[in-house]
Amino acid sequence: MTSLDYAQMFRLDGRHAVVVGCGGIGSEIAAGLAAQGARVTCLDKDLAAAEQTRASLPHSQTREHTAYPVDVLDPAPLGRLAEELGDVDVLVLTAAVNVRKRLLDYTAEEFDRVVSLNLRATFDVVRAFAPRMVKRGSGSVVALTSIRAVTVEPGQGVYAATKAGVMQLVRTWAAELGPAGVRVNAVAPGVVETPLTQQIRDDEAWGRAYAEKSALGRWARPEEMVGAVCWLASDAASFVTGSQVMVDGGWTAVDGRFTPPFS
């Protein structure tokens, strides 16, 4: 007989989940984790955004959900907060930035800004939270990458490089932390309807081309990212680590190309 309770394997009751980046998709992920029974801590540089997400979450049966401001680019206070929060069962990283420019037009400052938040901060956040998971012998880390980790277009080079880099960190962490019982995976969204993609959707040709690129012929909604994250966080994915789950409507399975405008 299996030791896994199929009726409960997606549940997160009694577990502490930390979501880093609580706007847009991060807010929906926090809601999904809470709905599965997790106690959620919302972390964001914008405390108002973190508090707004926390206030919207369904009540936890263990302890109250919490929210804290955190600058993931400042590792010292990040480390102190990780210690203050204590044991964390699930860590989800969503914070990222993109500067849409051709590589030859990039400035050094823009390059550093994208690499610092998308790649270095991912490294620092996991470095802050993973040691307690290792010591305890369990934990699930889920990083949001992107379809740009595997396929690019003009103007997305630096962002794509950081997302591919995050995936290589995920694979390495999976190898290094797996013996301690810690799983590390990624969810790669396709094009999602968020405020950050409004510029694209405001351009009719660009928005339509993105919609038609996927096998499903449309943009994703933020809540459609939640299921994959909750699955990876749960016992249902107990033998899944080092993987990148594509939640892209078939984008990376279908051929096609569109060169977007840059101004």
d(C-alpha 8, C-alpha 17), whole Å: 17
Backbone phi and psi for residue 242, each to the nearest 5 degrees, phi listed first: 75, 15
* Residue with tokens 């980790």, as numbered in its chain: 149
The H or E element that residue 44 is part of is: strand 39-44
Taking a C-beta distance cutoff of 8 angstroms, is the pair 232, 174 a contact? no
Q: Report whether 58 contacts 39 (CB < 8 A).
A: no
Show Cβ contacts of residue 256 under 8 Å, excluding neighbours closer than 6 positions.
212, 213
Radius of gyration, CA atoms only, the chain: 18
Joined together, the tokens standing for residue 229 give 């994250």
Tell me if 127 sits within 8 A of 184, measured CB to CB.
no
Q: Which of 6, 106, 159, 210 is catalytic?
A: 159
State the burial class of residue 102 (Cβ atoms within 10 Å of its Cβ: 0-12, 13-18, 19+): exposed
Q: Tell me the sheet residues that pair with 186.
A: 143, 244
Look up residue 163 and give its two tokens. Answer: 């997302």
Q: Which amino acid makes up residue 167?
A: M
Q: Is residue 210 annotated as a catalytic residue, yes or no? A: no
Q: Which residues are catalytic?
A: 159
